[in-house]
Structure 1
Amino acid sequence: MGNDLQKRFKLSNVGLVILAVVGVFILGDLTRRMADARRLERDSRILGTQVKDLEDEQTDLETQVAYATSEVMVEQWARGEAKMVGRGEKLVVPMSADGPVATPTPIPSSSQGLPSKLDVWWALLFGE
Structure 2
Amino acid sequence: MQSQFDFEASTPRALTPPGAGMNCTASECEVAAIRSSMTEEQISAERQLLTDRGMHRYDTGDRTGLGGPRGHQGCGSAFFVLDWFTDDELARFHHLGLALPSTGELVGAARQRIRYRIALRRANKPQIQ
Fold agreement, TM-score > 0.5: no
Who wins on radius of gyration, i.e. which is larger? 1
TM-score, normalization: structure 1?
Answer: 0.30
State the structure with bigger RCO (CA 8 A, min sep 6), 1 or 2.
2
Name the structure where helix makes up a greater proportion of residues: 1
